[in-house]
Amino acid sequence: SLLAAEKYSTLNSLISVQSKPELLRQVQESQRRVSSDLGESKSPIDGQLIAVKDNICTTDFPTTCASKLLEQYTSPFDATVVRKAKEAGAVIMGKTNMDEFGMGSHSMYSHFGPVMQSAEDGQPARSAGGSSGGSAVAVARGMCYAALGTDTGGSVRLPAAYCGVVGFKPSYGMLSRWGVVAYANSLDTVGILGRNTINGHDANDPTSLTPQTRERVQDLLSHNRRRGRRLAIGYPEEFNLVELDDSVRSAWENTLAHLSSQSHKIVPVSLPHTKHALSAYYVLAPAEASSNLAKYDGVRYGYRDPTDRSQDGLLFSPTRAGFGAEVRRRIIAGAYSLSSKAIDNYFLKAQSARRIIQRDFSNAFAQPNYLVTDNLEEGRGEGGVDVLIAPCSLSKAPFLEDVKMQKSPLDSYVNDVLTVPANLAGIPAICLPVMHGEDSVGMQVMAQYGDEETMWEVAKIIE
Ligand code: GLN
């Protein structure tokens, strides 16, 4: 792993790395502990190297969010997910590169330069996907056993799809966001990237819903779960966009055919409001972001221009100019949609679109969304599906050069069209690499809110 981190350092996937002697010390300490405890390891990640996205707070490394504003910032505490990983024996090997504050789809908008995905065949570098591109490359190149990322609109699943690894976005609220620098609070989730489902499944230690809510949702789900039966597997027709690459579409068909050959039932499903998901997301996420980023004012947080221009009434602007262009675009878009002139037509409309999109999913699944209802009868029951399967990205990873040539920043937003619906609905989704000829295509399994159990069941069949 350490050698891989050195060998692939040109891919720029890591912002900070733990020193080799310190890593060795920690790994050996865990090995000694395991052997003295009669071979009992604390967890499946005991003694394993884990990389952490640089918007998740750590005391051992700076937490920069890949921003000039936080270049010098080290958190006084560990995020809950980091603390839990350490308690489970994990060794944090470093912090991964990303799009500034999580805003982007190619991990190119970083103060530390773009992440690259190397191409062995002498082809130019491809996009690693974003915004957790550094985490995906670190996993794909064997620098670590697994990595933490964040997924607000697809930032774990898109890089997983582009890099050919597994990326899991849990139900909203399942993993604690304490110590995770907020981008859009109502959509942010902590996700896990691994080479296979084993890397993700056991590291899934849900922490953040109140124990009562978690227990209630799990009780209700298991009450209604049909066991020992054929699964009903839906494919949402609205995800079959004309923009889908042929290879992606046929990988999707092959996945469904494979499940059908295992005698599961394949059903077409309609999620009629999917077409509004991308625009709703790009209103809501920047709105929340513009509010979250207000604290980077050079007083509470943020770098400060050494020249004192306060005389000119320029207290904030020297600091705020430290944001990259994409982050500034989001702040302006968000501030606009929240302004008195625009809030009715943008922010409030997007919020109702979001509810309707969530309802579309609930109308498809056999199980109800128990965060919204207690009613056991409310789901579709026999007529509904257990999971939905759809691609994660429109195509395989584009060349970085082509991405740089794009005329409008909006061209990047389109990459999120297949991932944002799950964030808006708050439901769990996992992206799995499926081989299609030479290429790896990312396929996602989505399940009802809290129903990770069924999601993993299907993920393992596909894997
Ligand atoms: N690409 C999306 C965005 O830029 C998603 C980012 C994310 O999930 N953090 O907002």
Closest to 360 (Cα-Cα) out of 295, 276, 457: 276
- The verdict on the CB of residue 135 being under 6 Å from ligand 1 is no
Helix (H), strand (E) at residue 189: none
The domain spans of the chain are 2-211
- The verdict on the CB of residue 282 being under 6 Å from ligand 1 is no
User: Tens digits of per-residue pLDDT, 95-144?
Assistant: 999 999 999 999 999 999 999 997 666 788 999 999 999 999 999 999 99
Task: Give the nearest ligand 1 atom to 187 CA.
Answer: 8
Closest to 391 (Cα-Cα) out of 416, 413, 367: 416
**Per-residue b or e along 216-246, where b marks 16 or more CB atoms closer than 10 Å to that residue's CB:** bbbebbeebeeeeeebbbbbbebbeeeebbe
Instruction: Please check whether residue 241 is in contact with residue 435, taking contact to mean a CB–CB distance below 8 angstroms.
Output: no
For ligand 1, pick from 99, 106, 415 the residue to mutate: most ligand atoms within 8 Å of CB.
Answer: 99
For atom 5 of ligand 1, the residue with the nearest CA is 153
Instruction: Please check whether residue 98 is in contact with residue 134, taking contact to mean a CB–CB distance below 8 angstroms.
Output: yes
- The verdict on the CB of residue 281 being under 6 Å from ligand 1 is no
Identified catalytic residue from 127, 131, 412, 440: 131
User: What is the dotted CATH code of the domain comprising 2-211?
Assistant: 3.90.1300.10
- The verdict on the CB of residue 285 being under 6 Å from ligand 1 is yes
Cα(30) to ligand 1 centroid in Å equals 36
Nearby residues of 306 by Cβ (< 8 Å), 6 or more positions away: none
Q: What is the pLDDT of residue 202?
A: 61
Is 261 among the catalytic positions? no
53 DSSP assignment: E
Is 395 among the catalytic positions? no
Contacts 24+ apart (CB under 8 A), 362-366: 362/448, 364/234, 364/236, 364/269, 364/270, 364/271, 364/388, 365/447, 365/448, 365/451, 366/224, 366/226, 366/232, 366/448
Cα(417) to ligand 1 centroid in Å equals 11
Q: What is the pLDDT of residue 423?
A: 98
Mean pLDDT in runs of 10 for the chain (463 residues)? Answer: 82 95 93 80 89 98 97 95 93 98 97 88 88 97 96 98 97 94 97 88 66 85 75 97 96 97 95 97 98 88 70 68 93 97 97 96 94 75 91 95 91 93 98 94 97 94 92
Q: What is the ipTM of this complex?
A: 0.97
Distance CA(161)–CA(431), nearest Å, equals: 7
Cα(421) to ligand 1 centroid in Å equals 12
Task: Give the nearest ligand 1 atom to 130 CA.
Answer: 1
Cα(9) to ligand 1 centroid in Å equals 25
- The verdict on the CB of residue 30 being under 6 Å from ligand 1 is no
- The verdict on the CB of residue 360 being under 6 Å from ligand 1 is no
Q: What is the pLDDT of residue 17?
A: 96
Q: What is the pLDDT of residue 116?
A: 94
Task: Give the nearest ligand 1 atom to 151 CA.
Answer: 8
Is 84 among the catalytic positions? no
- pTM for the model stands at 0.94
- The verdict on the CB of residue 286 being under 6 Å from ligand 1 is no
Q: What is the pLDDT of residue 302?
A: 77
